[in-house]
Amino acid sequence: MIKIANAPCSWGVLEFDLDGKAAGFEQVLDEIRDTGYEGSELGDWGFMPSTPAELKKELDKRKLAMVGAFVPVFMKDKTKHVAGAEVAVKTAKLMADAGYTNAFIVLADDNGSVPERTQNAGRVTVTMGLSAEEWKTFADGANFVAAEVKAKTGLRTVFHHHCAGYVETPEEIDQLMALTDPSLVGLVLDMGHYQFGGGDPMTALVKHQARIWHIHFKDCQPEIAANSRAEGWDYFQSVGKGVFCELGKGAVDFPAIVAELAKQKYAGWIVVEQDVLPGMGNPKVCAQRNRDYIKSLGL
């Protein structure tokens, strides 16, 4: 049975060092509960309690589950793999020791750290990508982190393709899936990032069915995406302009996706992520409208 969660990034709690003040974890969890969701992702290390007992207490009193934690690692650089794995294992251990043994490490590139990729999010070209040797290093890093997490905590790892990182376009996602171990590295399909990165998420949902262990529902506003490409906005400008809009108000065909998930008998979590910058908009109102929209699709 599919369950629906939300995530701190919908409240402006992002992994980047940005101006503005985001909500605290108590407010985020209260509003996730109040708007009808059943779980949350962790957010940055230290945003929520970092001891298992305290984390479990805060979630239990709101009847919420912990479904995953985002861990960025600069996989292109082999010297960053060990430290990245240590962070991933520490994060996975927190969730596992709190009893969330079905939660995922949501592994990603260190998005926003390479100026060319950040500046050209949503319109990257082949010349901005990885070389064959860099691809091997990148994939080896993903395999290594996932193997360490699995061996030391029992948790599984899914890779999050992401605009402003080295795995953004459909072709780059295909390449990473081809180079990584399918028993170790799954895929979290993020509908909005896939759309903004130049693809139709339905294509990925069918093509990578066996690798999709986790799903993010995010929409992409096509006019804003087109303006981003025309005006040369960077990733953060695009987010600030609302490229990731409320569900059902963008280009992603969610009714078709929900029908395909039913056909595939998908039974994992769907996490709503409407990325906003800190202090931007009214996250609780958006969370409620997003939950109502998903209910209208039968979930």
Instruction: Note the pTM of the prediction, 2 decimals.
Output: 0.95
Q: What is the DSSP letter of 243?
A: S
Distance CA 262, CA 86 (A): 37
Number of H helices, E strands in the chain: 12, 8
- SS3 at position 108: strand
Distance CA 241, CA 231 (A): 12
Contacts of 94 (CB under 8 A, 6+ apart): 42, 50, 51, 52, 55, 69
In order along its 299 residues, the chain shows pLDDT tens digits of: 899 999 999 998 865 454 556 678 999 999 999 999 999 999 989 999 999 999 999 999 999 999 999 999 999 999 999 999 999 999 999 999 999 999 999 999 999 999 999 999 999 999 999 999 999 999 999 999 999 999 999 999 999 999 999 999 999 999 999 999 999 999 999 999 999 999 999 999 999 999 999 999 999 999 999 999 999 999 999 998 999 999 999 999 999 999 999 999 999 999 999 977 767 678 999 999 999 999 999 99
CATH 3.40.50.720 applies to domain 3-296: no
Question: Domain extents for the chain?
Answer: 3-296
Q: Return the half-sphere exposure (C-beta side, CA atoms, 13 A cut-off) of residue 217.
A: 28
